[in-house]
Structure 1
Amino acid sequence: MAFGFALGKLFLCVALLLWSRAETAVIPDGVLRMECHDRYFMIAVDLSFTGDEPHFEAVDETGAYTITQQYAAQCGYSINVHPLPGHVELRASYFSCQTQNKDDEMFTFNFNLNVTQEGKEVTYPLQDKTCSPSLPWSPREVTCETNYMEVSVRSEVTCPSGTKKDDWNSLKPAHRSTTSDWQVMFQTDDEQLPPINISDARKQGYAFLLTEGRLVFRAPYGQPESFSTEVNGVPVEAVHATIFSRQSWVVLMVDLVAACSMDEGLYNESGYMLWETPEMLYPNLDGQQINVGLKGQLVAQPVAEERGYIVGKQNNTIQICIPENAERRYRKSAVEDDLYEFYVYQLYLEQILVDEDRVETRIRSLRTLATPLLPSPIFAENQTVLEEHMFTCTSETSLKTYIVHPNNTHGYKLKVPFEDPVVLQQFSKTDALHYILNINYTLTVLPEKDLYYHMESVVALVTDVSPPQFDAVCTESGISFKLDHRPFDYLWEITIDSDLLTSELADQHGYTMINDSDSLLLEVPLFSHGYEYKNVSLKGFFGTFEIIMRDLETSEVQGSTIKTCPFSTTELIMCSTDGRMTVVADLALAIPNGGNPARTNLRDKYCGPKETDGSRALFSFSSTAVDPQSSSTVKM
């Protein structure tokens, strides 16, 4: 009883009163989250609401206390800003200074949130929250927080089955002490320091607390009395405190030891974040049981391994390998001359150990681990189907974008028709056409709005490219040409001789042209511009019409469609390209009394018919040798 009374007077946290009260308001819905965990209470507030410099106050019946960095480590608070999920997080130990503790079973927390808005400091009182541990307290529990170590032991501890020489050595300084006040004695790696009063230890940043059933000791990292070492290559920080009081010839001692792995984690090439802690941080403890998870969620080792974790031992070191894609991890992209990403893991590890008397010790470690900047290249995949006459390009990256794929990558899908002006074309001598699409991806990395540019060129190769070829059909009045459009026909121009085939040219020469999105139809009447005639006789003749395909850029002839058709006519006058004129005349009316056409001639008596029948005659002569005014006159 004396032990409890003496400690009870000493274990009050220092009150840091506010200078002045700020304006108070009600926190909006949706920006605050509160959670009770096994051994701590958590508050998360959106940074979009708090700004860059929020701060909390712990509140109890004596007032409100600003949680500074130093105060947090001494009083059992941890404040961490997490830009990736975009919130500031406060974790409070169940034994933190302002927590109302009822029988170590109900813990009530009360905080204020102070933010600066529009130049004013505004205080948001947060609703009280009461938590109850989901697990019973172990005889000894150690917490390795990000800024402090905390150890609590059951105040009613059964004497151990065996006492070792070192235990008696620790007892000697306590027995020589002449004071009955509670004192603390620190032991470093190589020496035992002189005892000091607990009140003096508190002034140095340590915290001591006696609850209904537990004795709590808390120490910030980096204290002069703590010591750093390496165990199996793993950095460790430890603090060893023994509190005691001498009452007459009886000395009451409680040994308090906290040791924490300070490993910062290592990202390996296999895509795992590796974190290590020595297997035997605490001597004489065995029976390792491990629970592990992220963001305060613990699962048993077999469950974690089913989720991709690797938990093993090597060189007396426990190794926790967290998979890159673990649930509840954070991922962030960054631009540093190139595109990168990194992952952040809020590791939560619990180790359960027992000593030779089957007394249980639970060690909990909370660590924020981050990978280095990892290259996040963009991969452009050409998914173009030539028959669609359209580029289909997918740009993939591991960054969060629009299209989510089964392999956890993301990407943009871009479709561009071959005919779009941004698409370049190159026609090779091997009758192959290259469509080239140059893409400049601009990614905006949020929330910083950093820009990243990525260039890609994708090519579609069409190997069966050839100049357009018309289908031609002979008709009674001329020749009909039809061309079904292909996507790449625009690479050529269509000419009649050297004249570009246009609607104006068709009108000028009497062609009939219909051109739509599917086909080009050209009706060329007989005797119109562009025909060539051969084998003219009284039975008929052959007319030939040619449509020429020329390279769009060089105008070189690349191909043509030539159609020759037989025609018949009663009379005609035609001029051939070799300078000859051919005339077929019906002489039935010109020759009276059924004269013989074979005995006719033109005005030139030597220009007689080459062929005749009962009423017609065919004349052929040079257009330069005959007077055009008289060449068509038939003379008996």
Structure 2
Amino acid sequence: MMTWLLGIWISWLILLVASAQKPFDVVPASQKLNVAASQSFNQRSGLKTECLGSFFKLSVDKSLAFGSRLEFDAINGSQIEALTPRFADKCGFSVASDPWGNTNVYASLLNCFAGNMDDAVFDIDMRVRVLGAKGEQDVFEVEKTCNYDQWAPREILCNRNYMEVSVNRLPGDITALHRPPKLGRSKGSDDQLTSTVSEAITSRFNIWRIMFFTPQQKAMLLVDALKAGYSITTTKSRLVLRSGYDMPETYVETVNGVPMKIISATTYFKKQWSVTMLDTVAACPTGGLVYTDEMITWNFPRINPLMDSSDTKILGMFMGIDGKQIDTAYMAARGYSLTMEDALIVMKLPMGGPDGYYKSHAVNNQYHISYNIEVMLDLLWSDGGTDTTKYKVIFPIKTPLVSGLPQLVDNTDSQLKMFDVLLGPFLYDVEFVNITFSTGVLTVAEATARGVIIEEHRFPNGSKTIRLQVPFSDLFVIKSQVDLIMTVYTLPLVFGFMILPENTPFSYSTSVEVTLHDVVLPTISGKCDTEKFYIQILFGSVGKSFSVLLGKQDLTPERKVEYEVKENGTHMSLAVPFLASDVAFELMYPSSLKARLDVLVQEPANKWNLGDFSLSCNFPMTMTECYSNGSMSALAVKVESVTQLSPRQLTLRDPSCKPKFSNDRFAYFTFNANNCGTSRTFMMG
């Protein structure tokens, strides 16, 4: 039996070594999901794995997701667990994305799901799920084997969301249940997500309890610590403690001005009549940053709570970016430095360097910008010349938000009568989504379809500006007259933006205004025939936005009907009978009447006179008439020069001869030629 098992292990090792020299495979996980045919990593771009010392890195390029949502699962045999924040903190995973959609997954080689053979060969098995907008999924499995056997007596990993410490001081009588590098899958396991217990590789018969120091002592049984969210496991030769930064048994200590989060615990191993205690402590920085306009400085205490002796010697000090160590040549090219200064280890990085990126933010609807970069610090030290400690910090840096208030450049051309504005700059992660005009909100596509010219200008540094062009004649433009000859054109705008990938909205409000001496006032002309005044009003540039007065009365809708008003987009015309009430009488002749029509065009809001016109004409009119029956008629007309005259009170020479008809303007008499004081005159010839 032992020979058979040994043969199996040797065969497996040969396959493992062979597979380690080949690219890992990306395989669709289930036929029930919308997955393309099986594709290897070389055939499927967008996925990359790396073994980086004591941890593993999976990089997912934005091209794989194409704007879809990414989710990740940890896999070991039939056990599959989604990388939720709580699970990631407990089991040694971290996930980070940049604004472009590139995602990095870091996993400790001692994570809960890693296959572990002799603390030297580690199998990492994960699943990448690409979720479409309509619920469809593309699923790819990632398998990677990492070799790492250069463990220090104590190793500490400070990742962005958890702290991990492992020590190799396990006594020989403490056994550990550790996983083989890869477990076989049970049939149908792809369709089930089984809950994973992180203590699966821990011998419950040996770990008795854990004493946390907060710094006060707080004891927990193993099962209670695991339920609380801690990971406490043993491997063949190591004890591993892992904690999230926000766990209640962690505490903060400031060391040389740098705040550090600390988890400290003693693990008790009990067997028969003996008890063994192992101390584990991790201290991870949560601050120490100093910013200027040109430089980011990160201070780390040279002597920290993890160092047990005053005779501590730092044996190695290295800098890294995105989980990878970098050499001195790279540091010099980028302008980085890592030095010891008195009680501090000091890392300096130029602000805005190419290894980081700028990110947009919206605070109280205001646009802000931060610079982000993920640095790494690797330290190796010895205490008293004996045991060594490997210490690794993956430290994401996000600078304080700086106002990125966009600038509006007004390039409006009054001669072309075109509003032309430029707004920016914005970063690459800002999307222009809509714009609010005076008439309402339109999407960019709707505004473009309406004839608005919208352009996005991109620059080599990744920033961009938005250009908007709107003609003065558009309905979006508000027009108003400040006097007779000047027009104010106003374009109120609210630009609507979205910050990706968070979909955070913000807006920018402005109003562009131009004043032009471009008013063409209305012009009035007219003529007469024997019965009417014929008036024509050309609108000019003010359109129909004026009122018309005939005489002293407004041209009401009823009068428009009476005067046969006709109008189009350029002018209006009307015909006014000379006896209409709006006509003034100037002089009365024996056989005609001189009448005048006054026309006034006004701007209604301010009562500005835009134009006036008077037309006087003589109209034929019989004032007296004799009839064959010996009767006569006479017409008296009130002219405007006799303001006090009342036609109703007129009489002939005989006061008893009153008008047969009268009103405010006329008095009409009929009488016998021999009555009413009529005199006769005989004409010779």
What is the TM-score of this pair, normalised by structure 2? Answer: 0.47
Contact 2:211-2:217 at 8 Å conserved across structures: yes
The residue number in structure 2 matching 1:516 is: none
Q: How far off is 1:445 after superposition?
A: 2.1
For the structure 1 residues 72 and 313, does the alpha-carbon distance in structure 2 shift closer, same or farther, using more than 3 Å as the test? Answer: same
Residues in 1 aligned to 2:73 and 2:248: alpha-carbon distance in whole angstroms: 28
For the structure 1 residues 454 and 305, does the alpha-carbon distance in structure 2 shift closer, same or farther, using more than 3 Å as the test? Answer: farther
Deviates more, 1:32-41 or 1:321-330: 321-330
Q: How does 1:35-434 map to 2 (within 5 A)?
A: 35-38=49-52, 39-43=54-58, 54=71, 56-60=73-77, 63-78=79-94, 80=95, 82=97, 84-86=99-101, 90-113=105-128, 124=139, 126-132=141-147, 136-153=150-167, 181=206, 186=211, 188=213, 205-211=230-236, 214-221=237-244, 222-223=246-247, 225-242=249-266, 255-263=279-287, 268=291, 270=293, 275-281=298-304, 282-283=306-307, 284-287=312-315, 289-293=317-321, 295-300=322-327, 303-304=330-331, 306-309=333-336, 316-320=343-347, 322-336=349-363, 338-343=365-370, 345=372, 347-355=374-382, 356-357=384-385, 360-381=388-409, 394-400=422-428, 402-405=456-459, 409-412=463-466
For the structure 1 residues 271 and 397, does the alpha-carbon distance in structure 2 shift closer, same or farther, using more than 3 Å as the test? Answer: farther
Among 444, 447, 457, the alignment partner of 2:497 is 444
Q: How far off is 1:82 after superposition?
A: 3.8
For the structure 1 residues 138 and 423, does the alpha-carbon distance in structure 2 shift closer, same or farther, using more than 3 Å as the test? Answer: farther
Which secondary structure does the structure 2 equivalent of 1:127 belong to?
Answer: strand
For the structure 1 residues 386 and 296, does the alpha-carbon distance in structure 2 shift closer, same or farther, using more than 3 Å as the test? Answer: farther
For the structure 1 residues 184 and 236, does the alpha-carbon distance in structure 2 shift closer, same or farther, using more than 3 Å as the test? Answer: farther
Residues in 2 aligned to 1:308 and 1:394: alpha-carbon distance in whole angstroms: 35
Contact 1:34-1:41 at 8 Å conserved across structures: no
User: Aligned letter for 1:58?
Assistant: I
Which secondary structure does the structure 1 equivalent of 2:238 belong to?
Answer: strand
Which secondary structure does the structure 2 equivalent of 1:126 belong to?
Answer: strand
Which secondary structure does the structure 2 equivalent of 1:208 belong to?
Answer: strand
For the structure 1 residues 26 and 112, does the alpha-carbon distance in structure 2 shift closer, same or farther, using more than 3 Å as the test? Answer: farther
User: Aligned letter for 2:508?
Assistant: Y
Gaps of at least 5 residues in structure 2 are: 1-28, 172-204, 431-455, 522-607, 612-685
The residue number in structure 1 matching 2:546 is: none
Contact 1:181-1:197 at 8 Å conserved across structures: no
1:25 aligns with 2:9: no
Residues in 1 aligned to 2:422 and 2:156: alpha-carbon distance in whole angstroms: 51
What is the TM-score of this pair, normalised by structure 1? Answer: 0.51
For the structure 1 residues 88 and 395, does the alpha-carbon distance in structure 2 shift closer, same or farther, using more than 3 Å as the test? Answer: closer
Q: How far off is 1:280 after superposition?
A: 1.9
User: Aligned letter for 2:464?
Assistant: H
Which secondary structure does the structure 1 equivalent of 2:142 belong to?
Answer: coil
For the structure 1 residues 403 and 267, does the alpha-carbon distance in structure 2 shift closer, same or farther, using more than 3 Å as the test? Answer: farther
The residue number in structure 2 matching 1:455 is: 510
Q: How far off is 1:118 after superposition?
A: 8.6
Which secondary structure does the structure 2 equivalent of 1:74 belong to?
Answer: helix
Contact 1:391-1:415 at 8 Å conserved across structures: yes
Contact 1:50-1:115 at 8 Å conserved across structures: no
Contact 2:69-2:131 at 8 Å conserved across structures: no
Residues in 2 aligned to 1:456 and 1:374: alpha-carbon distance in whole angstroms: 25
User: Aligned letter for 1:341?
Assistant: H
Contact 2:74-2:113 at 8 Å conserved across structures: no
For the structure 1 residues 111 and 344, does the alpha-carbon distance in structure 2 shift closer, same or farther, using more than 3 Å as the test? Answer: farther
User: Aligned letter for 1:56?
Assistant: D
User: Aligned letter for 2:465?
Assistant: G
Deviation readout 1:514-549 (Å, 9 max, x if unpaired)? xxxxxxxxxxxxxxxxxxxxxxxxxxxxxxxxxxxx
User: Aligned letter for 1:95?
Assistant: L
User: Aligned letter for 1:206?
Assistant: S
Residues in 1 aligned to 2:291 and 2:34: alpha-carbon distance in whole angstroms: 46
User: Aligned letter for 2:507?
Assistant: Y
Which secondary structure does the structure 1 equivalent of 2:90 belong to?
Answer: helix
For the structure 1 residues 388 and 65, does the alpha-carbon distance in structure 2 shift closer, same or farther, using more than 3 Å as the test? Answer: closer
Contact 2:164-2:242 at 8 Å conserved across structures: yes
Deviation readout 1:435-479 (Å, 9 max, x if unpaired)? 999684725324438362343659899xxxxxxxxxxxxxxxxxx
Residues in 2 aligned to 1:443 and 1:77: alpha-carbon distance in whole angstroms: 37
Residues in 2 aligned to 1:382 and 1:120: alpha-carbon distance in whole angstroms: 45
Residues in 2 aligned to 1:48 and 1:109: alpha-carbon distance in whole angstroms: 22
User: Aligned letter for 1:354?
Assistant: W
Deviation readout 1:123-159 (Å, 9 max, x if unpaired)? 93513222345x95445321012332212345699xx
Contact 1:99-1:110 at 8 Å conserved across structures: yes
Residues in 2 aligned to 1:59 and 1:344: alpha-carbon distance in whole angstroms: 38
For the structure 1 residues 408 and 126, does the alpha-carbon distance in structure 2 shift closer, same or farther, using more than 3 Å as the test? Answer: closer
Gaps of at least 5 residues in structure 1 are: 1-20, 158-179, 462-487, 494-552, 557-636
For the structure 1 residues 343 and 460, does the alpha-carbon distance in structure 2 shift closer, same or farther, using more than 3 Å as the test? Answer: same
Residues in 1 aligned to 2:427 and 2:67: alpha-carbon distance in whole angstroms: 27
For the structure 1 residues 31 and 320, does the alpha-carbon distance in structure 2 shift closer, same or farther, using more than 3 Å as the test? Answer: same
For the structure 1 residues 249 and 114, does the alpha-carbon distance in structure 2 shift closer, same or farther, using more than 3 Å as the test? Answer: same
Contact 1:335-1:452 at 8 Å conserved across structures: no
Contact 1:329-1:343 at 8 Å conserved across structures: no
Residues in 1 aligned to 2:395 and 2:282: alpha-carbon distance in whole angstroms: 16
Q: How far off is 1:232 after superposition?
A: 2.7
Which secondary structure does the structure 1 equivalent of 2:213 belong to?
Answer: coil
Which secondary structure does the structure 2 equivalent of 1:150 belong to?
Answer: strand
Aligned residues: 429
Residues in 2 aligned to 1:275 and 1:427: alpha-carbon distance in whole angstroms: 60
Q: How far off is 1:231 after superposition?
A: 1.8
Q: Percent identity, please.
A: 22
The residue number in structure 2 matching 1:566 is: none
Residues in 1 aligned to 2:331 and 2:425: alpha-carbon distance in whole angstroms: 28
For the structure 1 residues 219 and 457, does the alpha-carbon distance in structure 2 shift closer, same or farther, using more than 3 Å as the test? Answer: same
Residues in 2 aligned to 1:337 and 1:183: alpha-carbon distance in whole angstroms: 52
User: Aligned letter for 1:403?
Assistant: H
For the structure 1 residues 271 and 189, does the alpha-carbon distance in structure 2 shift closer, same or farther, using more than 3 Å as the test? Answer: same
Residues in 2 aligned to 1:34 and 1:77: alpha-carbon distance in whole angstroms: 17
Contact 1:348-1:364 at 8 Å conserved across structures: no
Q: How far off is 1:260 after superposition?
A: 0.9
Residues in 2 aligned to 1:51 and 1:411: alpha-carbon distance in whole angstroms: 26
For the structure 1 residues 310 and 351, does the alpha-carbon distance in structure 2 shift closer, same or farther, using more than 3 Å as the test? Answer: same
Contact 1:186-1:225 at 8 Å conserved across structures: no
Contact 1:346-1:366 at 8 Å conserved across structures: no
